[in-house]
């Protein structure tokens, strides 16, 4: 019985095999050449100035100087762009109590922008003729003193790092800006009956006696309380229990009366 299968001789398939092998060789060569070219380009890039940081811009900083930011963030000119660990540098910068947030961005091929958001200074505490920042976080800095307080922030006295200072600052952060700016000095002066007692000296010449826990709520009414006073009348506004006012003259008379009795 005759077979229907078509018999193809090996001689007729040789050209096709040669063509297939040639295509495969060209494909392999193309891949090797591409890899080789890519390696050359990468090498040239790392050898060129484009691979290194050429400029660093720092903005948003007022209290922290630029060199401190570069040092603490381990940011250097000529460092390899792809060798910079932005998250690590950001975390290192945010350990600085003056820095609330840091953001590092690559601009173009080799320019870094470092944007700093600082913790606001809410006041200063004086010591030995120098002034130390008290931040909005409730932290009293013990380094980087200033010779003079900056701006209209109040001067603190008798405070130290801890819960009392944090509570005091938290209360101040709740005050309207106008009321906050009217405060000249804040003295921590605990008594037997009130371990949170504070005395404030105001820019308008009045004095305020208060307790920390209720300070913001009651002090917010300070402008309306002062508006009820007679022109030129100055004295002590007591906000500890309720709110009442006594003139400095009456306060002196009461003290003189007590002195006589004693």
Residues 6+ apart with CB under 8 A from 232: none
**Residues 6 or more apart from 98 whose CB is under 8 A from it?**
63, 64, 118, 119, 133, 135, 141
Contact 175, 219 (CB under 8 A): yes
Alpha-carbon distance of 238 to 240, in angstroms, equals 6
Indicate the SS3 state at residue 52: strand
Contact 81, 110 (CB under 8 A): yes
Placement of tokens 């003056």 in the chain: 98
User: What is the model's pLDDT at position 231?
Assistant: 85
CB 160 within 8 A of CB 138: no
Tell if the pTM clears 0.75, that is, is over it. Answer: no
Nearest CA to 208 out of 189, 192, 191, 193 is that of 189
What is the residue-level pLDDT of the chain in tens, covering all 262 positions? 455 555 555 555 667 667 777 777 788 888 888 888 788 776 665 666 677 888 999 999 988 999 999 999 999 988 888 888 999 999 999 999 999 999 999 998 889 999 999 999 999 999 889 999 999 999 999 988 888 888 889 999 999 999 999 999 999 999 999 999 999 999 999 999 999 999 999 999 999 999 999 999 999 999 999 999 888 889 999 998 878 788 876 655 444 443 444 4
Q: Collapsing DSSP states into helix, strand and coil, what is residue 28?
A: helix
- Three-state SS for 212-226 is HHHHHHHHCCHHHHH
- What is the C-alpha to C-alpha distance for residues 247 and 86, in angstroms, rounded to an integer? 59
Taking the C-alpha atoms of residue 119 and residue 64, their distance in angstroms, rounded to an integer, is 10
The label of the residue with tokens 């945010």 reads 94
CA dist., res. 144 & res. 96, Å (int):
12
> What pLDDT was estimated at residue 143?
86
Element (H, E) at 236: strand 235-238
CA–CA distance, 255 with 18 (Å, rounded to integer): 117
């Amino acid at each position: 019985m005759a077979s229907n299968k078509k018999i193809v001789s090996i001689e007729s398939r040789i050209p096709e095999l040669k063509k297939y092998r040639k295509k495969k060789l060209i494909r392999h060569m193309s891949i090797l050449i591409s890899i080789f070219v890519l390696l050359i380009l990468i090498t040239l890039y790392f050898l060129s100035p484009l691979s290194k940081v050429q400029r660093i811009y720092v903005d948003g900083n007022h209290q922290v100087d630029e060199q401190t930011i570069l040092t603490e963030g381990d940011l250097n000119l000529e460092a390899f762009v792809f060798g910079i660990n932005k998250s690590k540098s950001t975390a290192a910068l945010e350990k600085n109590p003056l820095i609330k947030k840091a953001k590092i961005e690559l601009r173009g091929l080799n320019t870094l922008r470092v944007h700093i958001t600082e913790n606001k200074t809410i006041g200063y505490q004086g010591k030995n003729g120098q002034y130390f920042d008290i931040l909005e976080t409730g932290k009293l800095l013990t380094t980087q003193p200033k010779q003079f307080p900056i701006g209209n922030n109040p001067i603190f006295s008798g405070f130290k790092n801890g819960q009392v200072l944090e509570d005091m600052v938290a209360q101040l952060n709740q005050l309207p800006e106008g009321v906050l700016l009217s405060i000249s000095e804040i003295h921590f002066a605990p008594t037997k009956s009130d371990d949170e007692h504070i005395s404030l000296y105001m820019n308008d010449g009045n004095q305020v006696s208060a307790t920390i826990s209720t300070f913001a709520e009651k002090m917010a009414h300070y402008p309306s309380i002062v508006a009820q006073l007679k022109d030129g009348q100055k004295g002590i506004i007591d906000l500890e229990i309720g709110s009442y006012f006594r003139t400095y003259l009456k306060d002196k008379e009461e003290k003189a009366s007590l002195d006589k009795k004693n």
